[in-house]
A and B are shown apart, each in its own frame.
Chain A
Amino acid sequence: MILTDRTFRTLLNREILRFTRVWMQTIVPQLLTSLLYLVVFGIALGGRIKEINGIPYLEYILPGIALMSLITNSQMNSSWSVFDAKRERYIDEVLISPMSDLQITLAYSLGGMLRGVVMGAGVFLVGIPFVGVSIEHPFLLVFIGLLASFTFSAFGTMVGALATKIEHISFLTSVVIQPLAFLGGVFYSVEMLPQSLKLATLLNPIFHTVDATRYATLGISDVNPYPTIAIVLLLAALSFAGAWWTIHRGPNLRY
């Protein structure tokens, strides 16, 4: 009912149309950034690292870079979409429609999730000519990709609905998500860190998604992947609940 309802499908289509229509802003620059990471870290600096846990360095960092792109894009998509709609008040059209708040939250979150997945898959495709990755657990990879993308897209929906200034949205991307992504073990194994930093990394939610992605792709991970997947599931539930609450009862949409 929720997912087949025309009202819900229309909002989801609108969300997809939004990022595909401006693909020169939403897709191309992000893919280029990821390609630069591969070139700079993988090819230029990677020559000095050779391999981690028996895996060539470029191959080791590819899943993490794909996931970093997936996470930043999914949260950016929904946070900007909701914030823009709220700032220019066209979100009112959706809020007064016969859609439930649950459907509204889900449509924004799934729209962002799809952009994240497109970007994550795009980075893999761009990276394959360099490393020729073979995927160890493809179904798990798709599952983790969807779950991580949904989690951060729902989080973006919540922030977009709560934000009252553009700065709040850019703060989320550049001061919260990107540093956490860089410190989430994309470019190194936590085993290479001192004990205190290793413990701190375990508190970083992005680390768990990166580690689980690496396990699904390469079959290696820093921590046992299954408790990690449980943590990501919990994060997804918490983010979505938060997003739903801000759409339903949050202070800045309805008065």
Chain B
Amino acid sequence: MTGVTPALRIEKLTKTYSTGLLALDGVSLEIESGKFFGLLGPNGAGKTTLINSVVSLARPDSGSVEVYGKDAFREFREARRMIGLSPQEINLDKFLTVEEALLFHAGYYGVPKVKAKVRANELLERFGLVGKRDQRTNTLSGGMKRRVLFARALMHDPKILFLDEPTAGVDVELRYKLWEYIRELNRGGLTILLTTHYLEEAEALCEEIALINDGKIAAQGTSGDLKEHYGARNIEEVYMKVIGHDSDR
């Protein structure tokens, strides 16, 4: 891989919260461009802190982050333009309608108005939101809000998409539709970093998986490599061996 700029390069990232909790303990991670990458781990393992550190919602103590070769802190404008984030917690602007939520998001990323309008129509269609376009976001159901979050993350055509627990609380139909769409985007070249609790889905979707526990990467590799290395039949068994083993300490 020498010479090819990775989509995301994280080196020795450390983050301690004001409570004294060490959320990231020198994490290093590299995601190749175009990969579907899964980050798995128990609650509180550091998955969201890792994502938040890349987009500067968390302030790391030390370490470096590069997005397609751009320093996430010094060249934050360029780096952030390439990232789309669908966060774990729903955070839609309650003053805006569904369509406005998409258009304003595009504006925050500097996308020209005409282009944003075309993109919004495409995504409203794609996520079955056309009928809801003029509805205020705070009047939508949970599943609909989740759809708006996905559409919003894609409005500025990011090169890498962070999906933080995207299917928590989502019905089965939407989950399958979403996976189908995400796979399609990935085939089109979009790099994806997914955190999830659904291990079988991670196994089905992700080309490469990292297991994170106590702020450290506990194991990393393709699903096949991991199963072979741990003598496991599936990722769930790998997870139990790695995380279960770590939790026993």
Contact = CB atoms under 8 A, between A and B. Distances in A.
Contacts of B100: 17
A5 B111 CA distance: 11
A98 B78 CA distance: 7
B150 to A, nearest CB: 14
From B83, B92, B108, B111, residue with most partner A Cβ within 10 Å: B108
Q: Which residue among A18, A98, A100 has the maximum number of chain B CB atoms within 10 Å of its CB?
A: A98
Nearest to A81: B95
A14 interface: yes
B56 A7 contact: no
Contacts of B85: 96
A93 interface: yes
Interface in A1-55: 5-7, 9-11, 13-14, 17-18, 21-22
Contacts of B87: 89, 92
B107 A6 contact: yes
Given A10-B104, A10-B107, A10-B108, A95 B91 contact: no
Given A95-B57, A98-B80, A255-B17, A5 B110 contact: yes
A116 to B, nearest CB: 19
B57 A17 contact: no
Contacts of A18: 95
The B interface, classified by DSSP as helix, strand, loop or mixed, is: loop
B112 interface: yes
Q: How large is the interface on A (under 10, 10 to 19, 20 to 34, 35 or more residues)?
A: 20 to 34
B109 interface: yes
Interface in B77-136: 77-78, 80-81, 83, 85, 87, 89, 91-96, 100, 104-105, 107-112
B89 A89 contact: yes
Given A7-B107, A7-B109, A99-B108, A14 B81 contact: no
16 contacts: A6-B110, A6-B111, A10-B104, A18-B95, A22-B95, A88-B91, A89-B89, A89-B91, A90-B94, A92-B91, A96-B83, A96-B85, A98-B76, A98-B77, A99-B108, A255-B59
B91 A97 contact: no
Nearest to A17: B95
B206 interface: no
B52 A97 contact: no
Contacts of A85: 93
A94 interface: yes
Given A92-B87, A92-B91, A13 B109 contact: no
Given A97-B80, A254-B56, A254-B58, A11 B89 contact: no
Contact of A88 (B52, B80, B94): B94
A222 to B, nearest CB: 41
Contacts, number: 80
Contacts of A11: 107-108
Contacts of A90: 91-94
B170 interface: no
Contacts of A255: 17-18, 52, 57-59
B110 A7 contact: yes
Nearest to A97: B108
A6 B109 CA distance: 8
Contacts of B112: 6
B55 interface: yes
B117 to A, nearest CB: 14
Given A18-B95, A254-B59, A98 B109 contact: yes
Given A6-B107, A7-B108, A7-B109, A93 B93 contact: yes
A27 B76 CA distance: 38
B20 to A, nearest CB: 13
A21 B95 contact: yes
A13 B107 contact: yes
Interface string B125-162: 00000000000000000000000000010000000000
A9 to B, nearest CB: 7
Interface string A65-98: 0000000000000000000110011101111111
Nearest to A92: B91
A-B pairs with the 7 shortest C-beta distances? A10-B107, A97-B108, A89-B91, A96-B55, A98-B77, A90-B93, A90-B91
